[in-house]
Chains A and B, each alone.
Chain A
Amino acid sequence: MAATSAVAGLVGRRREAVRRTAGLTRELAWTQFKLKYTGSVLGYLWSLLKPMMLFGVMYAIFVGVFKQTQQDFGMQLLVGIVMYTFFTDCVGAGMGSIAANGNLIRKAFFPRAVLVVASSLTAAMTFVINLTLIIVIATPLGLLHVGLRTLAVLPLIAEVYAVALGLSLLLSALFVFYRDLGHIWEIFSQVLFYGSAVVYPASRVPVGWRGIVFLNPLAQIIEDVRHAMVIPDAPWSYSLIGIRFLAPVALCVLVLFGGTWVFRRLTPSFAEAL
């Protein structure tokens, strides 16, 4: 009897801890989201401005200058940019989330990963709004070809979120100790933009290079989202590289677990280092 109640007590405490953590995550994410968009008059529009500028410039260059004529190029580009923006926003904000909240870490106790998860959720909220906006506006215009395969977007979003969160955890922990990671990340995200098949369809990549380009999960995700949402003519990454499409998926899982592992290893030193 006593043992049973002890176990019940333990389970209750565990549930209580989960509730606290979830509550804090939600509150932090929602607060950050509100602060991001209520501080200025234009609010949410600001968050659209960056990807839209990028889209406008790229579209002008590729369609206006290079005479890109591929079907639905604009839509493909837009979807790619939205995915890419989510990834870099999420990792960029996540990386600083531990270092920027030194006071919380030194003065209160809660699972530290909450800060990283909350900042990734804030980025995810913006992303979901952007994506919904695209679907709502582009579908009636006939720019999107939605079908049953569109459901594949859900696991793909889960995949991009997993890799973004994993990288955020890894970098946020390292950023506490190595502050020049910020610069390195900026350069890396530039390279990533051109290496992720954002501004070109992956089918244009020479066959010999595909194995390497598709090691980049973002390239695989963007390509598959295009197939799922924009045009069925764009190939699945599976049809381009075969079973090797599992490599980027595995990499995402690896980054998530690796990032979590490093984060957990370094967590005890945060309060002292900040």
Chain B
Amino acid sequence: MTVAISARSLTKRFRIPLDRSTTIKYRLSHWRSTSRYRDLLAVDGVTFDVKDGEFLGIIGRNGSGKSTLLKLLSRIYRPSGGSLTINGHVSPFLELGVGFNPELTARENVMLNGAVMGLPRKLLESRMDEMMHFAELDQFADAKLKNFSSGMQVRLAFTVAIQGESAILLMDEVLAVGDARFQAKCFDVFNRYKSEGRTIVLVTHDLGAVDVYCDRAMLLEHGRVAADGSAADVTATYRKMVGELQDAERMASGGALIDIADMTSSAKRWGNGDVRVRAVELLNQDGTPHVNFTADEPMRIGIELEAARDVNDLVVGIGLHRGDGAVVAGTNTHIERLRLPSLHSGERIRVEYSMPHLMVLTGTFRLTIALHPSTSETTYDWLDQAFEFRVTDDRGRAGLFELAGTWAYSKATPWAMSLPAK
């Protein structure tokens, strides 16, 4: 099997000028001072091979050097060091519809964009009707692009993009655009490319797409290769890395989105202050505070309270919100029939809510804590969506929460539906 792309110690150093010298005037008036630069190593000694027909996914956080690497492979940037060998014709797709002009018609834009991608005029002309049909723009071939919706423009650009017959395709976040139906089309094309044995390098943040389509993945971090191997392994490494980083950030604040010690009211906190929340802890199964949980893991929510005056009918409630604010679940001590003791002024207690296992699945969730009396509408202390934690489901179930059902099967009979599950 031959190698399509071979990179050895590939390096790209950007020299970022610290003084503004975009005019001759400036150059002349500062002719004695040498320019000062700050060096930025965007790609730092990257070595890898891409075999013929391989589908490589490049992942990494923003600023990790993915796009710079892709531009090096596209020959848009010249390497500062190392070597790069490419066997075969390369088509870079760094953006859809490069060179599109709103004043031109769909047909004219196809010819222009096609020429930018190096497609022969004859080929474009012979496929024009077919392309317009595929883009669902049959009646709009001679309408100006500026009158098109963004969806129509994307369909047109994508249709031109897939006409190329290059052996090597370089793609940057092509999947980030368009609706679900359009993305499904993208995936169809990926499957076609794979079956045609083309070599593809895809830079993306869509780990799901990497898992499904890529034979191999490479993780970049600070311009270096942090992991290179099977797509599943590398995306798992990346997920873990990102999770750890977010954990480190959140652990510092205990998941709190507000300063609990700050007793003044804010948009996220209100109440008369007769009873106050002093501290909130999210504990994992080891009893250590945590902000990152896996579904099925036990979780305890510890709430420490202090009464500012005598209170005898305290109710403590919690609410669980999805990222967009929608309530996933909520309950309180009154509903669960736990009668809390009367509190004297200055007295502190700790209230805990335990879950044998978390029933929510993947996502970022926010916790609301509410203290109020059981009888009146008054509020002692309300902390609205003030604590954040993340849940990942390593079993791959879909949706927001676990159904907690069981599966069973039996021989199909007319009464199958009514048979007791075993």
Query: Which residue of the partner chain, among A104, A105, A179, contacts B22 with CB atoms under 8 Å?
Result: A179
Separation of A26 and B112 alpha carbons in the complex (Å): 10
B422 within 8 A of A: no
Q: Does B282 contact A (CB under 8 A)?
A: no
**Is B27 close to A, CB under 8 A?**
yes
What's the minimum C-beta distance from B17 to chain A, rounded to whole angstroms? 10
Point out the residue from A13, A39, A178 that lies within 8 Å of B103, measured CB to CB. A39
B49 at the A/B interface (Cβ < 8 Å)? no
Closest chain B residue, CB of each to CB of A105 = B76
Known: A23-B120, A178-B23, A268-B78. A31 touches B94 (CB 8 A): no
Bound together, the chains give a CA A181 to CA B95 distance in angstroms of: 31
Closest B-chain residue to A101, C-beta based?
Answer: B99
A233 at interface (Cβ–Cβ under 8 A)?
A: no
Contact of B76 among A16, A19, A27, A109 (CB under 8 A): A109
B75 contacts A109, C-beta separation under 8 Å: yes
Q: Are A35 and B115 in contact (CB under 8 A)?
A: no
Q: How far is the CA of A107 from the CA of B113 in the complex (A)?
A: 12
Complex Cα distance, B89 from A110, in Å, reads: 12
Secondary structure type dominating chain B contacts: loop
Alpha-carbon distance A140/B49, docked complex (angstroms): 70
Q: Is B205 an interface residue (CB 8 A)?
A: no
**A68 located at the interface, meaning its Cβ lies under 8 Å from any Cβ of chain B in the complex:** no
Q: Name A9-23 residues within 8 Å CB distance of B.
A: 13, 16, 19-20, 23
Q: Which residues does chain B contribute within 8 Å of A24, judged by CB atoms?
A: 115-116, 118
With beta carbons under 8 angstroms apart, the residue of A13, A39, A178, A268 that contacts B27 is A178
Question: How distant is the Cα of A106 from the Cα of B92 in the complex, in angstroms?
Answer: 11
Does A184 touch B at the CB level, under 8 Å? Answer: yes
Does A158 interact with chain B (Cβ within 8 Å)? no
- Interface range for B: 20 to 34
| B104 CB contacts on chain A under 8 angstroms | 31, 34-35
Which of B23, B75, B94, B120 is the one whose CB lies under 8 Å from A19?
A: B120
User: Which of B25, B99, B120 contacts A108, CB < 8 Å?
Assistant: B99
| Interface SS, A side | helix
The answer to the question of A125 belonging to the interface, with a C-beta cut-off of 8 Å to chain B, is no
Knowing A103-B98, A104-B98, A109-B75, the reply to whether A27 touches B92 (Cβ < 8 A) is: no
A107 near B98 with CB under 8 A, answer: yes
Residue of A nearest to B116 (CB): A108
A96 CB → nearest B CB, Å: 14
> Which of B14, B24, B74 makes the CB contact (< 8 A) with A109?
B74
B residues apposed to A, CB below 8 Å:
14, 22-25, 27, 71, 74-78, 89-90, 92, 94-95, 98-99, 101, 103-104, 108, 111-112, 115-118, 120-121
10 extra A-B contacts, CB within 8 A, seeds A105-B76, A108-B98, A181-B24:
A26-B115, A27-B111, A28-B112, A34-B108, A35-B101, A103-B95, A108-B94, A110-B118, A180-B23, A271-B71
* Interchain Cβ contacts under 8 Å between A and B, 25 examples: A20-B120, A23-B115, A24-B118, A27-B112, A28-B115, A31-B101, A31-B108, A34-B104, A34-B108, A103-B99, A104-B98, A104-B116, A105-B76, A106-B94, A107-B92, A108-B116, A109-B90, A109-B92, A110-B116, A178-B23, A178-B24, A179-B23, A180-B25, A271-B76, A271-B77
